[in-house]
Structure 1
């Protein structure tokens, strides 16, 4: 197959459940498979891995794993699969767990070094420990590093944080971000957590009842007025931004994005030039026809009205706006839209009441 990226097409029945997907996914970065429990996320992942017998097509960056003339068994597919449970060898130290797969890969085929894996997952100080002495988050980091050391062409992760408590989830998140930013291979990440998806995903596939109901870059999907399930109440946009200034007097920092800038509360550790990810919820943006300076909201941005749609609740509307080329959403009462005579094409002022650092 001639195109890069991941091609995955499966149309098959598993008892009463039907999986019917046709996907062309990015060949790098983190793609989230998102949806309610039972929607088919794990079934799709298992079909991709060859763990589930299914007719279809599977190709990763021009390497055909499954099609009309080929159907490689799972052990011949160059992938790594990280499950909810870590399944570390309890009688082996962290280092020996990591070396288990690494030493079985010929030296000339190793794409990820031992030092890289331990650095990305923060394991250097844990190498001599036994699994029983590790926290849940540490065990999962070891499992991920062990998977990477097989030098896979695809990393599959099936709800890797679901067995962890909230503190452990927060501990492991920066390491997953480091993998997303450093790995040259695609990652497919199954989750039903909107918070995990908002923080980690570059691309998102929304599933329901075995079918894809929406897919695309995270920012594009979340900025749609037709909000997919799971994001209705927390409808809003995700922004990639860069810290450009700190105001120590007022404990604020300025984050620049393509289309303007926003001020947010200074958080310890944020540095000038640092890239961050922000979330701005639709309910936290009000609109004005002219710039209002005699009020408490400090983040005021000019924007063009792009689209107006009926919202999930009666009497409310979702307004899509563009600050430059960056989309935002504003949830207003339909009465307010009518009273202000807001229409597509108009320039208005966004009053952003709250900005959240995604962490």
Structure 2
């Protein structure tokens, strides 16, 4: 199922003007605080009535101001996942899940409860109440409740923002499974580049109520002119395959025939992954480095150099593994004589890649 969004609305702080279509999967609204992400979600949910626009999921029209269509929130067939689980404290996990099913229309295509429970790994929690759950467990139950309501669209408004890094790492694989195994489109709000890199089927980058870039995560995150979450969000997204797990705690990845080493990943040999390599974690050399502790050295040539307003620049390096980005100073570029077409080596520290930067690749 595909999602179509057209919105115009005047807010006190900005004029909202959105127009994008999203394919099945996870569409990420990505941008800084105040860029309009939550406003878009509220309009889709029916919590904000925009001046003009239309939102539809395939032939299911949520509203269309030109045709006078406006479905109230309770008739929009939405599953909403908030920053906090917002579970009913007096109900068990089993009862919270059943509450979601209670709202599903009788003729709706329903997910089987057993499948949802297995997918989210919450079978052992069914008799507990929310007070006895961790933050990550609460979010998994909230996801299950949303799925069992038989939604046509799932809204996830910064669902990991209230969690610590360990809990975020716990939850991200479940959103990957939703993306790959559930046909319901997901509109996902975040300002985290790591979440975008791991989850997004498509990315809508927002700034001041406008769409400034729309496309795959690899394109949006590599564009420093967008950088909705700041220059530190700029990075490359590579598709790799797990080749081997070594006894010293490293995993070896096949990146288009090149080898990359990461701290051990919790994925089976042969599995395809997406990894995000932040530009500030890459250094460049004009000669093949020797005597370095870094294990990842990629041979390539410079495709483009994009200088910023300050002393830095983002360098795109075409390698066997794909395009890698490096954030370096313009002084370094001058001293090395680098320009588009120059041969170079991209050096990546093995321990520079965090667990949240590694996730399952999109199916197919």
**TM-score bin (small chain):** 0.7 to 0.9
Q: Which residue of 1 aligns with 2:333?
A: 337
How far apart, CA to CA, are the structure 1 residues paired with 2:182 and 2:55? 21
How far apart, CA to CA, are the structure 2 residues paired with 1:353 and 1:131? 41
Q: Does 1:197 align with 2:196?
A: yes
**How many pairs does the alignment contain?**
352
Q: Which residue of 2 aligns with 1:59?
A: 56
Q: Which residue of 2 aligns with 1:328?
A: 324
Q: Which residue of 2 aligns with 1:25?
A: 22
Q: Which residue of 2 aligns with 1:161?
A: 160
The Cα shift of 1:303 comes to: 1.8
Partner SS for 1:24: strand
Give deviations 1:264-291, integer Å, cap 9, x for gaps: 2335x44312333322222332333443
Give deviations 1:122-173, integer Å, cap 9, x for gaps: 1111112222322232222212211110111210011222333444333323
How far apart, CA to CA, are the structure 1 residues paired with 2:84 and 2:63? 27
Give deviations 1:319-357, integer Å, cap 9, x for gaps: 112224822111222233223332223343222234514
The Cα shift of 1:118 comes to: 1.0
Q: Does 1:49 align with 2:48?
A: no
Partner SS for 2:231: coil
Q: Which residue of 2 aligns with 1:300?
A: 297
Give deviations 1:275-321, integer Å, cap 9, x for gaps: 3332222233233344344544332222232111103532x221112
How far apart, CA to CA, are the structure 2 residues paired with 1:89 and 1:295? 55
Instruction: Provide runs of 4+ in structure 1 moved above 6 Å.
Output: none
**Is the Cα contact below 8 Å between 1:199 and 1:358 reproduced in 2?**
no
Q: Using the TM superposition, name which of 349-358 and 91-100 deviates more.
A: 349-358
CA RMSD of aligned residues (A): 2.5
The two structures have a TM-score, normalised by structure 1, of 0.88
CA distance change for structure 1 residues 129 and 353 in 2, over 3 Å: closer, same or farther?
closer
Q: Which residue of 1 aligns with 2:313?
A: 317
CA distance change for structure 1 residues 88 and 229 in 2, over 3 Å: closer, same or farther?
closer
Q: Does 1:135 align with 2:131?
A: no
Give deviations 1:230-280, integer Å, cap 9, x for gaps: 2413532122322112332x443211224633122335x443123333222
Q: Which residue of 1 aligns with 2:99?
A: 100
Partner SS for 1:137: helix
How far apart, CA to CA, are the structure 2 residues paired with 1:294 and 1:91? 61
**Is the Cα contact below 8 Å between 1:243 and 1:275 reproduced in 2?**
yes
Q: Which residue of 2 aligns with 1:288?
A: 285
Partner SS for 1:173: helix
Partner SS for 1:271: coil
How far apart, CA to CA, are the structure 1 residues paired with 2:309 and 2:277? 18
Unaligned runs of 5+ residues in structure 1 are none
How far apart, CA to CA, are the structure 2 residues paired with 1:253 and 1:158? 33
How far apart, CA to CA, are the structure 2 residues paired with 1:132 and 1:296? 47
In structure 2, which of residues 251, 273, 277 is the aligned counterpart of residue 276 of structure 1? 273
Partner SS for 2:176: helix
The two structures have a TM-score, normalised by structure 2, of 0.87
